[in-house]
Structures are given as C-alpha cells and as structure tokens.
Structure 1
Amino acid sequence: MASEVFNALLKERIDIFKSAFSSVSTEVFYDQITKRLRHTSEYGTFREAIVRDFLKFVVPRSLDLSTGFVITSMNDVSTQCDIIIFDSSMTPLYVEGDRQRFFPVESIFCIGEVKSTLGKSQFADALNKLAKIKMLSERISHPTIIRKGTPGPFDPLNNPNDLVPSILICQKLDFDISNLEADIDEMYDFSIEHRHKHNLILSIEDGVLAYASEGGFLPYPSLAGVNLKNQLFRPTEGGVCHIRAFAMLVFMITASKTLFYPEISDYLGRLGGSSLIQS
C-alpha cells in the first residue's frame, strides 16, 4: 500500500521542479526584445540550484549537495561538476562560500550535469565528461569502507555501489531518439568501460534512461560484471511518471552507495621527506 502523504508531497515537489526548470527559469532570463537568453551563466546557475533543491527531497537527509571538483589522493582533479552529492561529515577538504569547492572522491555519493536542450554532439560530450569523472572512483589509494550495503571488499568491477553514480538532467534531447537505447553506447569514447557509463539520464520532455533488468528498471550499467542494456521510460502525455521514476532511482543509488574513509595522510603525502604518520 502506497503512502498518500508521501506521494502528495513528491507530486508537489515534482510540479515545482518541472515548472521552475522548464518555464520560470526561461521567463526570468529570456529577453523578449532580442529573442535571446540574457546572462547565460546566471541562467545555468539558476537551473542548477533548482535541480539541487529537488534532489534534496529525494536523497538521504545525511547527504548534502553542491557544485565543484572531485579530487583523489593520487593527485587527480576532475573538471567541474554541476551537481555533487556528498557526505559532509566525511568531507574535510570542502571549501565553503564563493571559493572553489573540492571533494575527496571517497565521500562523494553522486555527480551530475544540468543542461538545457542538447544536440547529439553536446549530449555525447556530457556523457563522456561524466564517465571520465566516474572513473576516479577507482583511484583510491587505500579503500577503507565505513558503510556498505553488501558485505565484502572494495570491488568496483562487480559492485556498482563502490562506484560514484552519475546523472544527467536536461530539458530536451534535440535529435532523433527513436533508437536511443541502441545508439547511446556509440556516443561514448572507446576507452570508456561500460561500468563507468551513466546511471540515470532525465530529459523532462523525453523520459528517463536507465537499464533493463528482469525486475524491470535499474540505475546500474553493470551488475556482478554483467553489462545491462539501456532502457528509455517515456512520459505519458503531460504526465510526470518518468520524473517519479527518476526520483525513486536517485534515492536508490545514493542510499546504497558505499561510504569510504578519506585517508588524509594519503592526501597530504610526506612532510619533510618522511611519512606524516609513523607506524
């Protein structure tokens, strides 16, 4: 039996999100005289804030949301992410205020990109950007597990919860998507492993793209080393069922994500020619 209260609250949040993302943001930043967007950078920032407000309702309360860069103790620095969902209690290098924000990969629970209307090449660029950041999930010097849904060692090849999940949110895919499930794999660079591909793609106008399974619909490109096939869940006419599905799956990937301990001695390295911590 479903909860009428929760469903009513979720519907309200979805209605606000859809209206603000699709209509309000454009009305605020669209110049009727020039027929162009004004202040495009602020327009993007405004939409990112709308997405973060919506995601706060569907991710575990212990997590926080921001924008910034992913770093590893192996000296990797990602390109900037529009959305970073992280465990603030395990993020000692987070910088607040207007300065740049940096997040140890061990404490990140999800990364995401927020776009408007995407052509095919722009869509491919966004997918590959996310995949390359997701690859940093495996760049952990000494993986120390604090919390894990299924017992076992660090195993990103077989356990998708050991990888940082990735999401892409946009208004519309502005190209032929009639065979998107089959075409999307060809949009990735040859160097991208299947497990590093997107978890979820939400196009407000076109639907949500995840993966087919015996149970129906999952947000994991690979399970136990088996590559799953893409599946597009299209919206009903004027409906928001695809956004409801997206919200449910975002909760799944963030609630199930493995939390690691960011070993600060690995990040600091050696001081004065010797290890920071002596055994």
Structure 2
Amino acid sequence: MASDILKKIIEQKIDIFAGTFGEDASNIFTRDKKLFHPLEYGMYKERCIKELLSFVSSKSVGISDGFLITSKNSVSTQCDIVMYDKDTIPLIDNGIAHFYPVEIVKGIGEVKSTLNKVEFTKALVKLARNKLLYQERKGRLKSEERRFSENSEIFSFLVCNKLSFDITKIDFDEVYNEISDVKCRHNVVLSLQDGILTYTLNFSELPTKQKEHFINMGGDIKANPVIWNYPHHTEEDEFYKCCNNFIKINYDDKYKHIIHFLIIIKALLEEGYEYDFDFVEYLTNDKVKIFS
C-alpha cells in the first residue's frame, strides 16, 4: 500500500524538477533561439538533479561534483554528479575543484540535455572510464556482510532531457567496444521525455551454480524476469550478463519512470559496500616504508 501523501509530495517535487530541468531551463538560458551562458545552463541542470537525488539519500550521503582520485595516482575526468560518504573525511578542495578518494564514492552521474547517438555513446563511455577506478580501492570493507560481487562497484547513471534516436535499437556491445569489462557499464539511464533504461535478470538463464543456489533458497527459475540494478550478476564465481530493458514513458502516469529512477538510486545507495579510507595509502609510496 502506497502513501498517497508522500507520493503527492514527491510528485510535486518532480514536477518542479521536470520543469526547471527541461523546457523552463531552456527558456531561461536561450535568447533568439541561441543558448547563451552554456556553463551556467549546465550548472543549473546539475543543481536540479542534485536536489532531486537528495530526496532519496540519507544525511550521510554528500552530493556534489568533481574528480575521483585513487592511491595509485589515478584521476578521473570531471563528474557532473558525485555521491559520496561525507562522514568519512572532509571534502578535499584545492579552491578550484573537489576531489574524492575512490573509497568514499558511492555513485557518479552525467547530466545532459538532448542527446544524439554519438553524444549518448560518448557520455556512457566517459562514465565507464571513471567507474573503472573502483578497481583501485585499497580501503578495508566496513562490513563483511555477504552480498553479491556487483555491490562492491561504484554505480553510474546518465540523466538527460531527451534522446533524438531510438534507444531500443542501440547495440550496447558496440557502444562499449573500447571497454571490455561489462561491470563498468551504466546502472541506469533516465530520459525525462522518453523513459528509463534498466536491466533484467532471467532466472532460467543463470549459470549452473547460481541457478542451483537460487533453487536451494526456495526460488522458482520459471518466475518472470526481474529488474536488476546492475549490468551483471556475479555470484558463486560465475558471471551473468544482464539484458537491457527500456521502459517507455507512460503519459497516463508521466512521472512513473522518474520515481522508478529514484527507487533504483536509493537501492544502489543502500546495497553498496562501504570502505574505510586509509589516509596513509594516499600519502606514501609502496616502495618507501616510512614507518619501518
């Protein structure tokens, strides 16, 4: 049973978001059909999505922008959105940009307007390259609670106003041909005017050990496929690649896909592993033992 009051409040917030992110924002920053102050326009959209994301984030989650860094001296390109554990360390700021040790980062996102196929591909590849840095985490897990392998990854998402192509005809193996690791693909894509791109997990297609474990837990492999918040499912040392699933906007319930997006982000925040940040790892060279 849903709460009509809470749903109404959320929908009011989404209504404001959709207006400011979409047509209203375009009108504010457009003169004589030409966009002026493109930087401010981009920052305006980012503020809109940050405010929306705050509705499903706990007080311990910071939402900002900047660069990911690792103890191996790797640096990401700039991320429009960085969701991070703000209780671990103070924000690292050099007066120009924000930097986040990869251990405290939960998710990253890109915010765009209308995208064609080339721009869409470029945005997803950028996300994937930045997401790849999660593999350089060196902090200890805060909890040893058993979860799936995918819960150890940084999640990534793309939010745009509209897609100028048919997303159902996209070959994502072609989109990600430069990045072979499926784990680094996006978790969810939200297009305000088109719908939401997620994944599905089909129980009957699971690898042998995963299927046996699912049955032993009382599951029915004949059950309908379920929405999965990750591009893969890895368990029992077996890898399963999930299928893309585009859910088209329902104009009779025009904000349903946005609510669905928020539910996925909330789940990703809650499911992800948390890591300790080791300050020493970032300040010392493995070859130099300063405490010997």
| Alignment of 1:60 onto 2:54 | no
- Equivalent of 2:35 in 31, 34, 37: 37
Residue number in structure 2 paired with 1:155: none
- Equivalent of 2:243 in 217, 222, 229: 229
Residue number in structure 2 paired with 1:220: 230
- Equivalent of 1:144 in 134, 140, 144: 140
Gaps of 5+ in 1: 153-157
Q: Deviations over 1:9-46 (max 9, x none)?
A: 21112111111101221111010x3x101101110011
| Alignment of 1:199 onto 2:199 | no
- Identical-residue share of aligned pairs (%): 33
Q: Shift in Å at residue 62 of structure 1?
A: 1.6
Cα distance change of structure 1 residues 226 and 2 upon mapping to structure 2, 3 Å threshold: same
Partner Cα separation in structure 1 for residue 111 and residue 266 of structure 2:
18
Letter in 2 for 1:102: F
- Please list, as runs of the form range in 1=range in 2, the aligned pairs for 1:38-187 lying within 5 A after superposition: 38-92=36-90, 94-95=92-93, 99-140=96-137, 142-147=138-143, 150-151=145-146, 159-180=149-170, 183-187=171-175
Cα distance change of structure 1 residues 217 and 270 upon mapping to structure 2, 3 Å threshold: closer
Partner Cα separation in structure 1 for residue 67 and residue 290 of structure 2:
25
- Answer whether contact 1:131 1:192 (CA < 8 A) is retained: no
Q: Shift in Å at residue 151 of structure 1?
A: 2.3
Partner Cα separation in structure 1 for residue 105 and residue 278 of structure 2:
14
Q: Shift in Å at residue 143 of structure 1?
A: 3.5
Letter in 1 for 2:146: P
Provide the aligned C-alpha RMSD in A.
Answer: 1.9
| Secondary structure of 2:73 counterpart | coil
- Answer whether contact 2:124 2:185 (CA < 8 A) is retained: yes
- Equivalent of 2:265 in 250, 253, 272: 250
Q: Deviations over 1:246-266 (max 9, x none)?
A: 010010001111110111111
Gaps of 5+ in 2: 202-223
Residue number in structure 2 paired with 1:261: 276
Q: Shift in Å at residue 91 of structure 1?
A: 3.2
- Answer whether contact 1:265 1:276 (CA < 8 A) is retained: no
Q: Deviations over 1:85-131 (max 9, x none)?
A: 001111345228x5210000000110000000111111111111101
Residue number in structure 1 paired with 2:212: none
When structure 1 is superposed on structure 2, of 237-246 and 81-90 the one drifting more is: 237-246
| Secondary structure of 1:43 counterpart | helix
| Secondary structure of 2:158 counterpart | strand
- Answer whether contact 1:69 1:79 (CA < 8 A) is retained: yes
| Secondary structure of 1:144 counterpart | coil
Q: Shift in Å at residue 64 of structure 1?
A: 0.9
Partner Cα separation in structure 2 for residue 233 and residue 82 of structure 1:
25
TM-score (structure 2 length as normaliser): 0.85
Partner Cα separation in structure 2 for residue 147 and residue 25 of structure 1:
42
TM-score (structure 1 length as normaliser): 0.89
When structure 1 is superposed on structure 2, of 244-253 and 7-16 the one drifting more is: 7-16
Q: Deviations over 1:41-100 (max 9, x none)?
A: 11001100111011000122320100000000010000000000001111345228x521
| Secondary structure of 2:229 counterpart | coil
Partner Cα separation in structure 2 for residue 61 and residue 16 of structure 1:
22
- Answer whether contact 1:128 1:189 (CA < 8 A) is retained: no
Cα distance change of structure 1 residues 277 and 248 upon mapping to structure 2, 3 Å threshold: farther
Letter in 2 for 1:164: I
- Answer whether contact 1:91 1:104 (CA < 8 A) is retained: no
Q: Shift in Å at residue 184 of structure 1?
A: 2.5
